[in-house]
Homo-oligomer: A and B are copies of this chain.
Amino acid sequence: MTYTEKMLDAYPAQINLDHRQLAAVIDALESCAQACTACADACLSEPADRLAMLSRCIRDNLDCAAICSTTAAVLSRHTGYDANLSRAQVQAAIQATKSCGDSCAEHSSRHEHCRICAEACRETEQALNALLPQLEPTSATGPPSQSRPQQQQQQSR
């Protein structure tokens, strides 16, 4: 069990998502961010005559790294949970992993780092797509300061 799942289990209020699935998504996002950072750097060390072909891949790697890392942080916060925000950020991450996966896949036969990074992007995209339908808006009933959904729901059961 990773620290991610242990931390979900230790959260002091209820989280309305399967802990194992959510932890797997967060871990995939972190691994994907790391692979994208490394792939951008590996591309930069390819021979001069390959670099221009890889410039778009590098850009997609950088966007995907930043977006996956931010999305992992958003999904790691449950206090004052806001389904609209989680959904919007997850949708951006689905787009980022798709774009970067496509870019890397183009270079998979020539560059092993692109092949591995494409694999990380695809896995993460799938995990995000499986999570998305479960990020249902909660029935917000009060002003923001009072809507700490997990605790309210826990109390009302």
Task: Decide yes or no whether A16 CB sits under 8 A from chain B.
Answer: no
Q: B76 contacts A38, CB within 8 Å?
A: yes
The count of identical subunits is 4
* Complex: A95 Cα to B74 Cα, angstroms: 13
* A interface residues, Cβ below 8 angstroms from B: 2-4, 6-8, 10-13, 26-27, 30-35, 37-42, 44-49, 51-60, 62-63, 65-67, 69-70, 72-74, 76-80, 82, 84-85, 88-89, 91-92, 94-96, 99, 102-103, 106-107, 111-113, 116-117, 120, 143-145, 147-148, 150-151
Q: A96 contacts B92, CB within 8 Å?
A: no
* Complex: A113 Cα to B13 Cα, angstroms: 12
Q: A59 contacts B42, CB within 8 Å?
A: no
Q: A60 contacts B144, CB within 8 Å?
A: yes
